[in-house]
Amino acid sequence: MTVSYRLSEIVAQLGGRVLGDGEVRISQIATLEIALPTQISFLTNSKYRTQLASTKAGAVILAEADADSTDLPRIVSDNPYAYFAKVSALLNPPPAIEPGVHPGAVIGAGASIDTTASVAATAVIGEGATIGAHCVIGAGCSIGENVVIGRHARLYPRVVVYHDCVIGDNLIAHSGAVIGADGFGFALDQGRWCKIPQIGRVVIGNDVEIGANTTIDRGALNDTVIEDGVKLDNQIQIAHNVRIGAHTVIAGCVGIAGSTSIGRYCRIGGSAGILGHLQIADHVEIVAFTLVGKSIREAGSYAGIFPFSRAEDWRKNSVHIRHLDELADRVKALERQLKALSAE
């Protein structure tokens, strides 16, 4: 059961304009290298123009500047990458939802599940939880007591949401994500760590995606907040009382320590770390693997990574890092001596 569209139908729906035969039917999207005549491809970077010459694709999406680079039927868009995303969404709709609660699901007393929602076998919905319209709750998910989930959420198998968390519309949460576990808070008392109850919640806006095995801890006293449109990759750790501003995207394996507040439209590279109690401005880009140890007040790109090299070169160079202070002192001494010598 595949869907297919004429180019003319696509532009009627998504905008842009067709050059060449608008009656061409396409049923899937693929890279220039492997696309078939029934498929549409795309050129989002001019350096792949040579692949355009040899592609077997039935049609292509490209930018105005590349409009004349091929004779294939094509759709011209001022944002071909977003256009590609939308065509792919058109051709690859999510599987239809079969509404209803599977008899193998376990539903707590007083839970409210919209009749258009789907709850899979082995999912467990806590007492007093609310599941909105058109939600899909996958196998093995655990939704805590009094959780509220908005409309059109898609929780893949084995997502856990702890009690009292609040989630907006259109959430996508991948398997193994854990939302609302206790933040890490202890007070030392006579040689023993005394647990600080984590009584805040996680509050998530609309249009958020959360990757596989990502963890977002509940607040200690106030809430942890993920604003609208935030996209989180896999294996990210977000500590208690963090706030992530709207439309910020965070790549895999990033760790964000407690009470840090990140602005809107930031881009955080993979495996980066951000210490606690910091403020990061809007539109900040953090390069992968960078540790951010103090607040960033201005938009811009920030980095702090150690350039890799052959291990033998690395050994030779890195030893001096432990003696930089001394090296700087020696240079200063040389400058002094040379000045004295020149003055003679």
Cα separation, 163 vs 197, in Å, equals 14
Instruction: Select the residue interacting with its own copies from 3, 12, 65, 82 (CB under 8 A).
Output: 82
Chosen residue from 6, 48, 252, 295 binding its own copies by CB under 8 A:
252
Contact between 181 and its own copies by CB under 8 A: the answer reads: yes
216 neighbors 233 (Cβ within 8 angstroms):
no
Is 321 a residue that touches its own copies (CB under 8 A)? yes
Tell me which of 69, 88, 261, 295 binds its own copies, using CB under 8 A: 88
Choices 3-11, 68-76, 110-118, 309-317; region in contact with its own copies by CB under 8 A: 309-317
Any long-range contacts for 142-146 (C-beta under 8 Å, 24+ apart)? 144/180, 145/108
- CB-wise, 130 or 235, nearer to its own copies? 235
Indicate which single residue of 23, 46, 89, 112 sits in contact with its own copies (rule: CB under 8 A).
89
**Residue 134 falls in the annotated catalytic set:** no
Stretch that binds its own copies, among 2-10, 49-57, 129-137, 294-302 (CB under 8 A): 294-302
Among residues 12 and 331, whose Cβ is nearest to its own copies?
Answer: 331
Residue bearing tokens 């997502």: 159
Amino acid at 4: S
| Shorter beta-carbon distance to its own copies: residue 12 or 333 | 333
Structure tokens at 87: 């065509």
User: How far is it, in rounded angstroms, from Cα 280 to Cα 176?
Assistant: 28
**Where do we find the tokens 């501003």?**
245
Which of positions 117-176 make contact with its own copies (CB under 8 A)? Answer: 120-122, 124, 138-140, 142, 156-158, 160, 162, 172, 174-176
Which residue among the candidates 163, 174, 240, 283 is catalytic per the annotation? 240
Helix (H, G, I), strand (E, B) or coil at 316: helix
Q: How far is the CB of 148 from its own copies (least distance, A)?
A: 18
**Which sign does the torsion angle of CA 80, 85, 86, 92 carry?**
positive
Q: Per-residue string for binding with its own copies, 254-293, x by CB under 8 A? A: -x-x-------x----xx-x-x---------xxxxxxxxx
Please report, for residues 163, 169, 249, the alpha-carbon distance to residue 126 in angstroms, rounded to integers and kept in the order given.
8, 19, 30
Q: Which of 32, 48, 50 is nearest to 40 (CA)?
A: 32
- Active-site residues, by number, are 240
